[in-house]
Structure 1
Amino acid sequence: MVKSFLMFLFTLVVSATWAGQVTVKDVLGRNVTFNAPAQRVIVGFYPEDYMAIGTEAAYDKVVGMSKYIWQARPANWDMYVKHRPSLEHIPGIGRVDTQTFSVEKVISLNPDVLMLADWQFKGLGTDIERIENTGIKVIVVDYNAQTLERHLKSTELIGVITGQEKRAATIAAEYKKTVESISKRLADANLPAPKVYTEFGASGVQELGFTFGKNMWGAISTMAGGDNISAPFVEWWGKLNPEQVIASNPDVIVITGYETGKGSDSMIMGQGVDKAEARKRLEGYKNRVGWSSISAVKNNRLYGAYHGACRTILDSAMIEFYAKAMYPDLFADLNPEQAYLDFYKKYLPVKPQGTFTLAL
């Protein structure tokens, strides 16, 4: 009897071990086999998405992260640290884009899984092989591409890594529903696509900032039914010639910003940002040299958006925002800022307060 019971326990343990092993196909089509949910994870990018999908408890198993993308939004970061002080003590691993990413640090933290953004994976080149040779599993996700397919796939992958597949499926389904609902309305209305220009306003009025082609805000504006004037000239992100913006004569202009910028005329948006101050900064763009002749300026169709609200599963609210900005009558019923805040209420442990969308 005792022998049979011990054999039964052994069978259970072995079954549990094998049940934990899964093989996923990441966004690059790479097959990755690992034990799920992962017990030791390094989050290379998308830290809020990781918490929203995996729950706050997922950070009990985060042993390292590339912190800069979160700390670039200082008020947002501070809000989370105030709620969960242990975030401050998670070891940093550096940045791929500034060549400060430390392979040695990653290996020393002994993670089961290293989750990277597509651009990070490609930027690390042969260093990926060094990491994988130690037994660390590298899984690539991608919200930067701003495609429905990659948003859904990345959400599914984070769900598997954290053991929150059901929650991930719910979040993905909600995102898909928003995108498809907007697409259907646009198709049914069959209206001419307004020309739209988006600029990251950290540099202020005097210096033209980065704009977006195929990804991020460029893709969001296209998904929302706009004709992105930057697309023919910028593949991913970059700056247009100032004369080109004027010549393209956009119908709608969106200036994005973080909580801080380079100067007193930089566009600011986000956690803790006063709406009156954000509106004053946005108003300043109407005085940019040559812009008085642009349709968007003449018709007061300038808008502000929180730069931290793109390249994330939270950005369905920003698709709604662009749709309403470009087609105010067609999407009059939408409340994008409330949709953004509602996502936090439903899936995240903090409650942001500030200015996340804005219209003149």
Structure 2
Amino acid sequence: MQKALLVLILLFSWFVSGCSEERSNVSGEAGIYSIMDARGKIVAFHKPPQRIVCLNYSACEILTELIPLSDVIATDKWAHEEDLSNCTEVIKDIPVCEDNVESILAFKPDLVILASGRGTVLGELLDTIDVKNCILQQPENIYKIPDYIKLLGKLVDNEAAAEKMAAKVSGYLKAERDTPRISGVLLLHPNGGTGHKGSMSNSVFETCNIENLAARYENFAGNYLGKEQIVALNPERLIVLDWSFGGQHKSAATRKKEVLEDPGYQSIDAVKNGRVIILPMKYFNCNTQYVINNMEKLKKELAKTV
């Protein structure tokens, strides 16, 4: 009886020891980590990606300060648009990848980073051929930028650097500052007035203590304000957004000239006082650490119109 009991004890000890060792091997396996992307999909890694095709220009801006530049083997075309992107000089030697499966496969990536919306269908196609991809939701306003930065840090396994970057942005956004109020400003997109309440650009205006006339609207019919609405708002300052959307629209200089010469705009204060200025899109559509520098430049440019 005692012998049988001893055998049972030894078998139990062996079983527990074996299970513990197995759990230890699994939990201690080097480099395993994961994140959840904008689709709710878990993207897992055994090691940090080193061949990244980044078809998300804002993610590209953050990655240039989190990982070796050599790990980004291709970007989308928007990352090279100077009026939209803040890292054009840094990535000037990195090739452009078209947003299609054939172009992506040519680069042999171990990760493809996409933007939600336009990248969702492409991500689904990449899933069918087992190309690892991650779709990221762009921040809705500047206050969500720190979390976006930290998510990128987790994606490339450099959370420490991302935390530091995010803390710098958070500190800037929370800082008390005595910025003079600038009134009566309206953004002019090629399709009309823009910057409704709740938009990224409106959060920029709020932080810079700039009155955004478009914020009187929760949203716009067709997403843009028409000429009659712009005239009714009577902006003191008009900002013509400088970005041609890859050549789809007229240049900002041409659009400014058209506004100044348009008979329908002659009654508004911005035109009468010559306060129609051109500023790059990236000042109002930045989802990264560059938001600090862009907002400081915006305030300086608008201060010249006071």
Q: TM-score, normalised by structure 1?
A: 0.60
| Alpha-carbon spacing, 1:178–1:292, altered in 2? closer, same or farther (3 Å) | farther
Amino acid at match of 2:57: Y
The answer (yes or no) to whether the contact 1:144–1:311 under 8 Å persists in 2 is: no
The answer (yes or no) to whether the contact 1:44–1:117 under 8 Å persists in 2 is: yes
TM alignment of 1:93-132, pairs within 5 A: 94=98, 101-107=99-105, 109-122=107-120, 124=121, 127-132=122-127
The answer (yes or no) to whether the contact 2:112–2:134 under 8 Å persists in 1 is: yes
Q: CA deviation at 1:173?
A: 1.4
What secondary structure does 1:18 align onto? coil
Q: TM-score, normalised by structure 2?
A: 0.69
> Which of 69, 74, 78 is equivalent to 2:78?
69
The answer (yes or no) to whether the contact 1:198–1:218 under 8 Å persists in 2 is: no
Structure 1 runs, 4 residues or longer, greater than 6 Å off = 14-17, 74-78, 259-263
Q: CA deviation at 1:199?
A: 1.6
> Which of 175, 181, 187 is equivalent to 1:198?
187
Q: Which residue does the alignment assign to 1:294?
A: 268
Q: Distance in 2 between matches of 1:236 and 1:319?
A: 28
TM alignment of 1:241-320, pairs within 5 A: 241-258=226-243, 266-267=251-252, 285-298=259-272, 301-309=275-283, 310-313=285-288, 314-320=290-296
The answer (yes or no) to whether the contact 1:37–1:160 under 8 Å persists in 2 is: no
What secondary structure does 2:133 align onto? strand
The answer (yes or no) to whether the contact 1:27–1:154 under 8 Å persists in 2 is: no
TM alignment of 1:50-69, pairs within 5 A: 50-55=62-67, 57=68, 59-66=69-76, 68-69=77-78
> Which of 5, 23, 41 is equivalent to 2:34?
23
Q: Distance in 2 between matches of 1:61 and 1:17?
A: 26
What secondary structure does 1:114 align onto? strand
Deviations 1:265-319 (A, max 9, x none): 8326xxxxxxxxxxx9968744443334323444554443222343231122333
What secondary structure does 2:175 align onto? helix
Q: Distance in 1 between matches of 2:151 and 2:262?
A: 44
What secondary structure does 2:79 align onto? helix
Q: Which residue does the alignment assign to 1:174?
A: 168
The answer (yes or no) to whether the contact 1:220–1:322 under 8 Å persists in 2 is: no
Gaps spanning 5+ residues in structure 1: where? Answer: 1-13, 95-100, 269-279, 329-357
Q: CA deviation at 1:242?
A: 0.7
| Alpha-carbon spacing, 1:220–1:249, altered in 2? closer, same or farther (3 Å) | same
Amino acid at match of 1:170: K
Q: CA deviation at 1:256?
A: 2.1
Q: Which residue does the alignment assign to 2:156?
A: 162
Q: CA deviation at 1:246?
A: 0.8
Q: Distance in 2 between matches of 1:290 and 1:104?
A: 48
The answer (yes or no) to whether the contact 1:215–1:236 under 8 Å persists in 2 is: no
| Alpha-carbon spacing, 1:72–1:322, altered in 2? closer, same or farther (3 Å) | closer
| Alpha-carbon spacing, 1:307–1:169, altered in 2? closer, same or farther (3 Å) | same
| Alpha-carbon spacing, 1:322–1:61, altered in 2? closer, same or farther (3 Å) | closer
Q: Distance in 2 between matches of 1:116 and 1:236?
A: 28
The answer (yes or no) to whether the contact 1:53–1:155 under 8 Å persists in 2 is: no
The answer (yes or no) to whether the contact 1:252–1:325 under 8 Å persists in 2 is: no
Amino acid at match of 1:311: C
| Alpha-carbon spacing, 1:106–1:237, altered in 2? closer, same or farther (3 Å) | farther
Q: Which residue does the alignment assign to 2:16?
A: none
What secondary structure does 1:38 align onto? coil
What secondary structure does 2:161 align onto? helix
- Aligned pair 1:136/2:131, yes or no? yes
The answer (yes or no) to whether the contact 2:123–2:134 under 8 Å persists in 1 is: no
Deviations 1:241-282 (A, max 9, x none): 11110101224322221499979x8326xxxxxxxxxxx996
Q: Cα RMSD (Å) of the superposition?
A: 4.2
| Alpha-carbon spacing, 1:233–1:241, altered in 2? closer, same or farther (3 Å) | farther
- Aligned pair 1:211/2:194, yes or no? yes
Q: Distance in 2 between matches of 1:236 and 1:219?
A: 20
| Alpha-carbon spacing, 1:154–1:77, altered in 2? closer, same or farther (3 Å) | closer
